[in-house]
Structure 1
Amino acid sequence: MKGNYGSSSRESRSENRGKRRKTNLILNMLIGLVILLIIIVSSIIFLGGNDEETAGKQVDDKKTIQENGSTKDEDTELDNQTENRSDNEEQEEGKEETPEKQSEDVAKENDDNSKPVIQAPSPEKEEDAVVTNGGDSEEVNKTIENQSWQPIGTSQVGEHVSVYEQDSVDWSEMTQALSYATGIDHDNMTVWFLGNNGHNKSVGTVSAKNQKQKYRVYIDWVDGQGWKPTKVEEINK
């Protein structure tokens, strides 16, 4: 009896130890599984967070690039609009200035046309000049007449009528005749008087600028040829 009891006790202890080993193995496996799950979950959380952060950064970067691109496009468009507006303003100014410039050109052309287109007469021959002391009045120092004087030419056509207005063609041609008779340069000549001396006849008083000596010049109109000097008086007044 005693031998059978001891054998049964050993079998029970052996069975209990086997159960404990199985239990420990299962527990170890469960613990390992839990640890593995923890590692996996932690990895997912960590890597997922990085992916989200990276994705968010990429989205932010893309948004920033798009915003910068939009801003750059807006700036470029604004610059183009400003440049186009400036070009349009310059073109408008050019268009506005064009009529004025055309008017100035027309006025200049009219002024040029108003000036007599005359052919300079041949130089006078000094040997043909007849100089006489005195004259028709006491104020005349000497009188000069020259047969070589010629008409100065004219741009006028049709019947001639003397015009004593300073901006007229006739006035300009008369002063040219006074300059020709006295030898005073037209641009350096002062006209003190120019008036009527009868039908198609005129008389003028001139001097060189900055000089006191005056000359009275008599001129006659020759149809189709212009004004011709006939007499020059050196006067003392």
Structure 2
Amino acid sequence: MAKEIGPRFAQRAKRRKINRILNAAIAVVVLLIVVVAWNLFAGDDEPHKQAANTSAKTETKENHDDKKVEVEMGDKQQINEESEQSDKKETSEEEEQEQEVIETPGAPGSNIEKEIVNPAWQPIGTTQSEPHVTQFKKDSVDWKEMLDAVSYATGVSQSDMIVWFIGNNGPNKAVATISTRDQTQHYKVYIEWVENQGWKPTKVQKLKEKE
């Protein structure tokens, strides 16, 4: 009887040992499965994150590039506009230079030394409003602006000018006779009113003597 119990006990102990080994092996396998599965999911998520980051970086770079292009286009447009304005200004100045002053000698026996017409003369500007009414009063704005036009046409400053006469020469036209202070130069100046722009010289006669 004692002999039978011994082998049975040994078999049971052996089975328990095998079961423990199997259980440990199963636990290791399950743990490995969990680790592998976690790595797979984590690995799948990381490319998504990297892709998202790459997409964000690409979008940011594209936005930066777009802004850079806009700035560059704006700069080029501004440069082109400035270049066009400069070209127009140069063309205008060249055209004015090409408009030569016309000087015609006075008729023999006349008091006119020469007659001067300058196509580049422009209206002097005005502070007056329309409709314009010519005023020959010395304290009027119109009188002062007429003298400005006379000074502009002759090159004689008002401080060095003797005004002998300013009078009517037709609708919106006037004529002035002046001399320099030392009375060595005498001029007869024809001016006309340009609407909203003021008086404009049309002709200057340099006189031999004061009229």
- TM-score, normalised by the number of residues in structure 2: 0.51
Once the two structures are overlaid, the 10-residue window that deviates more, 204-213 or 159-168, is 204-213
Letter aligned with residue 152 of structure 2: Y
Correspondent of 1:230 among 202, 208, 211: 202
Matched, 1:157 2:129: yes
Question: Is the 1:135–1:233 contact (alpha carbons within 8 Å) kept by the matching residues of 2?
Answer: no
Aligned residue in 1 for 2:114: 142
- Paired residues in the alignment total 115
Matched, 1:178 2:150: yes
Aligned residue in 2 for 1:217: 189
Letter aligned with residue 164 of structure 1: F
Q: Distance in 1 between matches of 2:98 and 2:165?
A: 26
Q: What is the CA deviation profile of residues 211-237 of structure 1, one whole-angstrom value per residue up to 9, with x for unaligned ones?
A: 332100000000000000000001122
Structure (1 or 2) with the larger CA radius of gyration: 1
- Tell me how large the CA RMSD over aligned residues is: 2.2
Q: Comparing both chains, which one has the higher relative contact order based on Cα–Cα distances under 8 Å and sequence gaps of 6 or more?
A: 2
1:1-237 matches, within 5 Å, as 128-134=100-106, 138-237=110-209
Give 1:200 shift: 0.2
Q: Distance in 1 between matches of 2:190 and 2:108?
A: 13
Give 1:136 shift: 10
Question: Is the 1:219–1:227 contact (alpha carbons within 8 Å) kept by the matching residues of 2?
Answer: yes
SS at structure 2 position matched to 1:128: coil
Letter aligned with residue 165 of structure 2: F
Letter aligned with residue 155 of structure 1: T
Q: What is the CA deviation profile of residues 55-103 of structure 1, one whole-angstrom value per residue up to 9, with x for unaligned ones?
A: xxxxxxxxxxxxxxxxxxxxxxxxxxxxxxxxxxxxxxxxxxxxxxxxx
Question: Is the 2:99–2:119 contact (alpha carbons within 8 Å) kept by the matching residues of 1?
Answer: no
SS at structure 1 position matched to 2:147: helix
Q: Distance in 1 between matches of 2:189 and 2:104?
A: 15
- TM-score, normalised by the number of residues in structure 1: 0.46
Q: Give percent identity, aligned residues only.
A: 50
Gaps of 5+ in 2: 1-92
SS at structure 2 position matched to 1:228: strand
Question: Is the 1:135–1:143 contact (alpha carbons within 8 Å) kept by the matching residues of 2?
Answer: no
Gaps of 5+ in 1: 1-121
Q: Distance in 2 between matches of 1:236 and 1:205?
A: 12
Question: Is the 1:143–1:231 contact (alpha carbons within 8 Å) kept by the matching residues of 2?
Answer: yes
